[in-house]
Amino acid sequence: MGLKTFAGGVHPFEGKELSKDKEITSMLPKSPQMVYPLSQHIGAPANPVVKAGDTVKKGQMIAEAGGFVSSPIFSSVSGTVKKIEPRRVAAGGMVNSIIIENDGAYDEVEYNEVDNPFSLSKEEILERVKNGGVVGLGGAGFPTHVKLSPANPDKIDYIIANCAECEPYLTSDYRMMLEYADRLIGGMKIAVSLFPGAKGVFGIENNKPDCIAKLKELTKDEPDIYVQPLLTKYPQGAERNMIFAVTGRKINSSMLPADAGCIVDNVATLCAVYDAVKFGKPIISRVVTVTGDAVKDPRNFLVPTGTCFRDIVEEAGGFKEKPEKIIYGGPMMGFANFTLDIPVGKTNSALLAFTKDETAAYEPSACISCGRCVDACPSRIVPSRLADYSENGRLDLFEKWGGVECVECGTCSFVCPARRHLTLAIKSMRKTALANRKKK
């Protein structure tokens, strides 16, 4: 089968060599304080079910879902709840968090394992996914049980495993595909079993030939599951582009993947679905890539959630040189933050540390209308104009030129030879435009 892809996109320096051959290693937190933000997902924040002074076990629920579109939070250690207070998270804001003093014993609760996950009813499966705190672990954090309960389950034709990992430098999904392939396929089978007519597709970029080969081999006897190699291009892993590449169907900003008969979940999410359904085990750890030219020993770690990123950097040998910039997530869409005192949340897949902040040296200059942003934009809109309209407060023109279709992938700013902050400008007005649309 040939390579599929979408129109537009760019090919930034990959940088995956630094950590792609490093096996996933488990690590334990050094600092005793564990931090569990109550919002690690899209939707209502979770409501704490513990209070200061309570003792908790590893795997115990410490906050329950705050609504249907919400997700519970679990402790990854045993210890004592110290307090509940706002703490800074990777995206930069302060989020109310449960602070737990780790007693170092890692006393674990008993999980309710089932022998055959396929003997469960649909409702039971969804309940177990929900109770496992599973959300989109690629970064968006949309509660997975909501995604898996679309309005018309009969119309779902494809469950797409987003194995693109198109962000440069990140290798956590890559390592999981190689090392956790059985769980990944198990999660896929469970998701496919929920929908009578659905096929499971692993969409993998062709810069990961070993993953393509491995998953092809492991799924060769599965009639409903296949591997679709994709062209390596950013943002191949953006949901709309992934759906188009795999199925040829298009969705826009006001549609859900389910409107095109698709459900898209990333690698880590499907593994978490398997853990939750088969073993009854909630999300209490995740794979995190620590890399960048400032890191002594770039690695992939399996880290308990709530661990401080400072501990992870130490585990990776610390910094060779003081980094100028650290990024939570990939270099295209990740969040730059000023501190390492950030807890690992469900959606934090990487920490990058660079000795040079290459964007700081650039000063924006006049747009020369070269159209590179237009040709690269995966949403097929005109970023340079939209940025103008945003800077000049012209919401009417912004809407006329389709600004809400932006996916904020950063591609336009990446290619801009005038070094304009296109993505930033569009993002800021898009918020207003989206709010307006909701009002209508």
Partner 1 sequence: MNNELMNVASNPHVRHKDSTQRIMLYVIIALLPATCFGIWNFGLRALLLILITIASCVASEYIFNIITHKKQTVSDLSAVVTGLLLALNFPVSLPWWMPVVGGAFAIIVVKIIFGGLGQNFMNPALGARCFMLISFTGPMSAFTYDGVSSATPLALMREGETVDTFRMLIGTIPGTIGETSVIAIVVGAMVLILMGVIDLRIPGTYIVTFTIFIILFSGHGLDSNYIVGQLCGGGLMLGAFFMATDYVTSPITSKGKIVFGICLGITTGIFRMFGSMAEGVSYSIIFCNILVPLIENFTIPKGFGVVKEKKAKGGDAA
Using CB under 8 A as the binding rule, the residues of this chain from 315 to 344 that contact partner 1 are 318-319, 322-327, 331-340
Q: Rounded to whole angstroms, how far apart are CA atoms 305 and 288? A: 10
Query: 40 to 99, contacts with partner 1 by CB under 8 A?
Result: 92
| Count of chain residues binding partner 1 (CB under 8 A) | 72
Contact (Cβ atoms closer than 8 angstroms) between residue 401 and residue 382: yes
Query: 400 to 429, contacts with partner 1 by CB under 8 A?
Result: 400-402, 405, 408, 410-411, 413-419, 421, 423-424, 427
* Residue choice 384, 389, 398, 430 for contact with partner 1 (CB under 8 A): 384
The least CB distance from residue 12 to partner 1, in Å, is: 6
Residue closer to partner 1 (CB basis): 202 or 414:
414
The least CB distance from residue 387 to partner 1, in Å, is: 12
Binding of residue 236 to partner 1 (CB under 8 A): no
Nearest alpha carbon to residue 138 among 221, 55, 237 = 237
The least CB distance from residue 353 to partner 1, in Å, is: 9
Q: Rounded to whole angstroms, how far apart are CA atoms 219 and 432? A: 45
* Residue choice 213, 255, 256, 321 for contact with partner 1 (CB under 8 A): 255
Residue closer to partner 1 (CB basis): 303 or 422:
422
Between the CA of residue 394 and those of 297, 382, 386, 403, what are the distances in Å?
Answer: 48, 15, 9, 11
The least CB distance from residue 284 to partner 1, in Å, is: 28
Strands 325-328 and 158-163: unpaired
The least CB distance from residue 34 to partner 1, in Å, is: 19
Task: Single out the segment in contact with partner 1 by CB under 8 A; choices: 61-69, 96-104, 218-226, 363-371.
Answer: 363-371
Contact (Cβ atoms closer than 8 angstroms) between residue 90 and residue 139: no
Place of tokens 């092809």: 216
Query: 261 to 320, contacts with partner 1 by CB under 8 A?
Result: 318-319
* Residue choice 5, 9, 12, 71 for contact with partner 1 (CB under 8 A): 12
Query: 343 to 362, contacts with partner 1 by CB under 8 A?
Result: 352, 354, 357-360, 362
* Binding flags for partner 1, 150-179, as an x/- string (CB under 8 A): ------------------x-----------
Task: Single out the segment in contact with partner 1 by CB under 8 A; choices: 125-133, 270-278, 342-350, 381-389.
Answer: 381-389
Prior bond of 229 cis (ω within 30°): no
The least CB distance from residue 383 to partner 1, in Å, is: 10
The least CB distance from residue 208 to partner 1, in Å, is: 20
Task: Single out the segment in contact with partner 1 by CB under 8 A; choices: 110-118, 216-224, 243-251, 266-274.
Answer: 243-251
Burial of 53 (0-12, 13-18, 19+ CB in 10 A): exposed
- The CA-to-CA distance between both ends of the chain, in Å, stands at 44
Residue closer to partner 1 (CB basis): 215 or 327:
327
Between the CA of residue 231 and those of 9, 139, 203, what are the distances in Å?
Answer: 11, 22, 10
- Count Cα atoms within 13 angstroms, Cβ side, for 153: 14
- Count Cα atoms within 13 angstroms, Cβ side, for 291: 26
Q: How far is CA 399 from the centre of its chain?
A: 28
CB burial readout 112-123, b (16+ within 10 A) else e:
eeeeebeebeee
